[in-house]
Amino acid sequence: MDIFVGSAEIYRLKRGKLMQQPNFDFLPKLDEASAWRGVDLQKSEDLWTYELSKADVRELEKAASEFLLSNKPLGQISPKNFVLNRLVKILKDTQRHLKDGIGFRLITGLPTSSYSAEFAATIFCGIGSYIGLARSQNAAGHLLGHVRDTGADVKSTKVRVYQTNARQTFHTDSADVVGLLCLREAKVGGDSMLASSLTALKEIVNNRPELVKALFEPVAYDRRGEVAEGQDPFLSIPVYNWYKGFLSCIYHRTYINSAQRYEKAPKLTECQVEALNELDRILEDPSVHLKMRLKPGDMQFVYNHCLLHDRTEFVDWENAEKKRHLLRLWLSLPEDRPLPPVYEQRYGDLTVGNRGGILTEKTVLKVPVFE
């Protein structure tokens, strides 16, 4: 039985074993630093956590105060007008962690409880500008997102799951990096979960090789109503893509399922459904994913091309001023990997350092500090 990925034959299933073909170097990618298991990283928080010192916090507060005094719009923040010194090395190292390391970093210790919403957003956007270029997170052009329960119905095909208190399921976002700053945590639940897409594929390669092909075949993703003129209301992209020596993942099972309502959308085959079910099963394994609870002042940055993220269902506080609230950035990294042409459907321009996000002909970029 031959298994094909795109046009390249990569494996041959022979006597129940997966044999690598000589014309493909796929397997070594499954042993990179980002191919980790949560049970291992849980024991090594120092590998992925940086705690801000008092001197770091003073530097951030000084940079934010000076930027706000300049009266520049927050959308214009950059390393030129949000000036850091001691933290530059840490943020450059964070870039390296994302692109070439384990794929994420947690930065803790920002005293957000003593900040105004504008001051916290300024620090977060300022830090983000050292990591990458901010991208629009919706058709409205929001460069700064607000992750909280708006009371929207998660069953609505016009609603994105982050606007509710429902479980999100493991997924990737439409940018190189997603960053979160926790302002307030939920009463119960709302924990963050991360998983390596490389580790998940390695499990399938080793245990269910007959499903590998299906994960490299195009599947439809619902755009959830954020559609530019002339576009289909769905994308058609494989979950895994091998391009110019890089293995990238793009996934959102909820949106794959809801895209099936479109008449023109390619219908999932039985093999694709089985492959997606197996992928979900692996990601749900507590030994595979890493669970953490973001506390107020915690910043988490995640590389979408090799990691998936999720959030557990939560119960919020009744007091509106205590309700769970996170700020979000989507960032395009400089000097990043090339992405396959099929990603144009989701990322638009694929120019490294200026790609990703959601744009329509009516999009006007803005930074909503209050929402």
Model pLDDT for residues 151-168, shown as the tens digit of each residue: 777 777 666 777 788 788
335, 352 Cβ separation under 8 angstroms: yes
Largest CA distance in the chain: 70
Query: In this predicted model, what pLDDT tens digit does every residue of 251-283 receive, in sequence order?
Result: 999 999 999 999 999 999 999 999 999 999 999
Residue 85 pLDDT exceeds 60: yes
The better pLDDT of the pair 21, 53 is held by 53
The predicted model scores a pTM of 0.91
The mean-pLDDT minimum among 12-26, 93-107, 228-242 falls in 12-26
Domain boundaries, the chain: 26-347
Please report which confidence band the pLDDT of residue 361 belongs to, taking 50, 70 and 90 as the band edges. confident
Q: Cα–chain-centroid distance for residue 130?
A: 18
The architecture of the domain spanning 26-347 is 4-Layer Sandwich (3.60)
Of the pLDDT bands very low, low, confident and very high (cuts 50, 70, 90), residue 26 is low
pLDDT at residue 89, rounded to an integer: 97
pLDDT at 27: 67
Angle between helices 117-131 and 54-69 (to 10 degrees): 100
Average pLDDT over residues 51-79: 97
Q: Which of 97, 265, 322, 116 is nearest to 194 (CA)?
A: 97
| Mean pLDDT along residues 233-246 | 93
Which pLDDT score is estimated for 18? Answer: 42
In the predicted model, what is the mean pLDDT of residues 288-297?
A: 98
- The pLDDT of residue 163: 78
pLDDT at 108 over 50: yes
38 Cβ neighbours under 8 A, 6+ residues apart: 194, 195, 286, 287, 288, 289, 290, 291
Strands 17-20 and 8-14, by their bridges, are antiparallel
How far CA 257 is from CA of 121, 253, 260, 267, 270, in Å, comes to: 34, 6, 6, 10, 13
Question: Is the per-residue pLDDT at 10 higher than 70?
Answer: no
pLDDT one-digit tens code per residue, 166-221: 788 999 999 999 999 999 999 999 999 999 999 999 999 989 989 999 999 999 99
Strands 145-147 and 325-332 come out as antiparallel
Burial 122-160 (b: 16+ CB within 10 A, else e): bbbbbbbbbbbbbbbbbbebbbbbbbbbeebebeeeebb
* Mean local confidence (pLDDT), 126-142: 94
Say which residues have a Cβ less than 8 Å from residue 20's Cβ, sequence separation at least 6: 10, 11, 26, 27
**What is the band of 224 on the pLDDT scale with cuts at 50, 70, 90?**
confident
> pLDDT tier at 17 (50, 70, 90 boundaries)?
very low
**Mean pLDDT of the 102-128 span:** 98
pLDDT tens, 313-359? 988 899 999 999 999 999 999 999 999 999 999 998 999 999 999 88
The reported pLDDT for the residue numbered 156 is 75
What Rg value do the Cα atoms of the chain yield, rounded?
A: 21
Q: What pLDDT score does 152 carry?
A: 76
Average pLDDT over residues 356-371: 84
Round the average pLDDT of the chain to a whole number and report it: 90
Residue at token pair 């070439």: 100
In this prediction, residues 13-31 reach a mean pLDDT of 50
